[in-house]
Chains A and B, each alone.
Chain A
Amino acid sequence: MVSDSLPKPETTAQPRLRGIVPVLLLVVVLLCVVSLGVGPVRMSPSEVLAAFGGAADDANRIIILEIRLPRMLLALSIGGILGLSGAAMQGLLRNPLAAPSLFGAPQTAAFFAVATISLGLNDALSWGLPLAAIAGAFFSVFLLLAVAGRSGSLLLLILSGLAISSLAGAGTALAMNLAPNPFAALEIAFWLLGSLEDRSLRHVMLALPFIIPAGLLLFSQRGAFRVLALGEEAAQSLGVDVGKLRLIVIFGVALGVGASVAVAGTISFIGLVAPHLMRPFVQHDPARLMLPAALAGSSLLLAADIAVRIIPATTDIKVGVLTSIIGVPFFLYLILRERRSLSGGLT
């Protein structure tokens, strides 16, 4: 079909910004080191490394390995899966304003978690809570598919997701309302704010078996997101099983974000913001966006979790509060920019 004499097309040698992933990796590594060094006991990078090598005194070793390492690993993995989930949702919905919470998984996970506190089954740091949260995320998938149908349209899925989120929100309110004592209500309220404080390596071991497969599952679909840029029909005609892709994204996001909520509470806006920040660096390609979005998510959560330790305040600021305080104005800015580009297209 193509003659051998055809000149070598110039189209292969396109100028591309390929440097973003190494830069992000460097930022993530630096933030990890800072995250291990920052806290009531400040440690320099060399002291941090010494703790790993066993050359530090016992107190420093315990602080690094048992207090700050779990915190750092959770920020790294939760930030990463939030960024990746956001990129996957935006790819699936072909909309830059889509967020991982759209189908209701994190809200349902949070509801199940606080319900266990309210019922007096456990407190905010025991094992029943994260397991209940993960069960909640799975339940939201079940409910979503039961309401919208396995081959339901995107609009049906979004509306069903909205209903499920609202229901979970109502359930959470009820759980607080029915809390057996004011302390339980306060515990629920604080847990909902989202935090990485006082987590142990057991939390890490609980979350990672869900977060890692979820991340791999979402990442494996990146090629399909690019084809989906042509619309569902064209993507289907090019061999993408759009129905299956939807199920994979719904399930992967619920798995990853559910596990995140289980160990850290609700941390919002990273899933929305991280893909956005990276999009210009990958020429808006939804497939090449995935890895940078994950790394940017990790960086943002690591940075936010460092910031809450540095900001001078009489009460601890929760990391989930900080991501929302910064994330919401950014979201408003995105809407404004979308509005401007839309009206700009008409003039």
Chain B
Amino acid sequence: MASSVLLEVASVSVTLGQKPVVSDASFELAAGQLIALVGPNGAGKTSLLRAIAGLVASTGKVLLAGKDVFASTAIERARRIAYLPQGHQVHWPLTAHDVVALGRYPHGASDPTRLSPTDSAIVAEAMQRTDVARFAHRNVQTLSGGERARVMMARVFAVGAEVLLADEPTAALDPRHQLDIMTALKAEAARGALVIAVTHDLGLAARIADQIFVIHEGHIAAMGTPADVLTASLLRDIYGISALHLMQDGEPVLVPWAPV
């Protein structure tokens, strides 16, 4: 296992103001997996993600393939770690194609209208994978929430990074789009990337994620396979809920049921 570790997070802590929001997080992850980061609101999931992406000041170490990511330049880091923030906001009425092409910015493609053939092919392929090629020339601000979420996903795929961090990529989407997005992330992991996604959808996480990290009050309360982690006692202790555990077509189904 040790030789195939892609991302190593060692004693990472984040303090916002006076408040510690992530305390001493440590883990090692190999490539080719989808990790679901779950936990109650305010548990520190987003802060942990932002610390790995280098977007917030933190202590501790983040190693990518054995090298300290904070020792590298911002552009180098941007090529290797892609980050999808919450909200999917675009401030100017750019076309979907131009937004996706911004994913090539760390590779030197600063003008979406003058992409190199390689960059252009990568952008087109990312748009095909998320099924947004149809509205390449549409203004992203006029797209529906689900369409825009897929454009933003394509933008992150276009970076071609080894690590992909996604903060609540399925928030505010209808069930079909939630499935589309999670399936696309799973496919990205199958292509060899390490995908870490924050989600509140325990059912979807249980079905699709290879591993689940439960964050609670800034600590990693549990990590492992969905079946090992999402136990009745953990759901009660951390979320204060009970849940239905079912099996459907050989897959585990988890439905949050009642407060306890």
A interface residues, Cβ below 8 angstroms from B: 1-2, 6, 9-12, 14, 16, 94-95, 223, 226-231, 233-234, 236-241, 283-288
Contact = CB atoms under 8 A, between A and B. Distances in A.
Given A94-B92, A229-B94, A237 B82 contact: yes
Contacts of A6: 121, 124-125
B92 A285 contact: yes
B93 A2 contact: no
B137 A230 contact: no
Contacts of B90: 229-230
Interface string B90-121: 11111101110011011000111101001011
Contact of A239 (B50, B106, B133, B191): B106
A11 B120 CA distance: 8
Given A239-B74, A239-B77, A239-B78, A2 B102 contact: no
A12 B92 contact: no
A125 B5 CA distance: 70
Given A12-B115, A239-B106, 14 more contacts: A2-B118, A6-B121, A11-B123, A11-B124, A11-B127, A226-B102, A226-B112, A233-B85, A236-B54, A236-B74, A237-B53, A239-B79, A283-B93, A287-B111
B81 interface: yes
A1 to B, nearest CB: 6
B228 to A, nearest CB: 31
Given A14-B97, A231-B89, A237 B83 contact: yes
B85 A234 contact: yes
A9 B94 contact: no
B111 A9 contact: no
A226 B85 CA distance: 17
Nearest to A1: B160
Interface string B52-77: 01110000000000000000011101
Contacts of A227: 102, 105
B204 interface: no
A238 B103 contact: yes
A223 B111 contact: yes
Contacts of B81: 237
B122 interface: yes
12 contacts: A1-B191, A2-B125, A9-B123, A11-B136, A12-B120, A14-B97, A226-B110, A227-B105, A230-B89, A231-B85, A237-B78, A283-B94
B105 to A, nearest CB: 5
Given A230-B90, A238-B103, A11 B74 contact: no
Contact of A285 (B98, B105, B118): B98
A92 to B, nearest CB: 11
Interface residues of B, number: 50
A288 B98 CA distance: 12
Contacts of B160: 1
B102 A230 contact: yes
Contacts, number: 106
A231 B53 CA distance: 15
Contacts of B85: 231, 233-234, 237
A239 B53 CA distance: 11
B218 to A, nearest CB: 20
Most central of B91, B133, B137, B159 by chain A CB within 10 Å:
B91
B87 interface: yes
Given A9-B124, A284-B92, A285-B94, A14 B78 contact: no
B116 to A, nearest CB: 10
A10 B97 CA distance: 11
B74 to A, nearest CB: 5
A1 B122 contact: yes
A230 B84 CA distance: 10
A275 to B, nearest CB: 12
Contact of B74 (A94, A228, A241): A241
Contacts of B97: 11, 14
**Which of A226, A238, A239 has most B Cβ within 10 Å?**
A238
B120 A9 contact: yes
Q: Which of B74, B82, B95 has the largest count of A CB atoms less than 10 A from its CB?
A: B74
Contacts of A239: 73-75, 77-79, 105-106
A225 to B, nearest CB: 9
Interface centre among A236, A237, A239, A284 (most CB of B within 10 A): A237
A95 B155 CA distance: 22
- 9 tightest A-B CB contacts, nearest first: A9-B124, A239-B78, A223-B110, A237-B83, A94-B91, A239-B75, A239-B106, A233-B85, A229-B92
A234 to B, nearest CB: 5
Contacts of A236: 54-55, 74
B94 A284 contact: yes
A9 B124 CA distance: 6
Contacts of B99: 229-230
A22 B222 CA distance: 62
Contacts of A95: 91
B177 to A, nearest CB: 20
Interface in B120-166: 120-125, 127, 133, 136-137, 155, 159-160
A227 B105 CA distance: 8
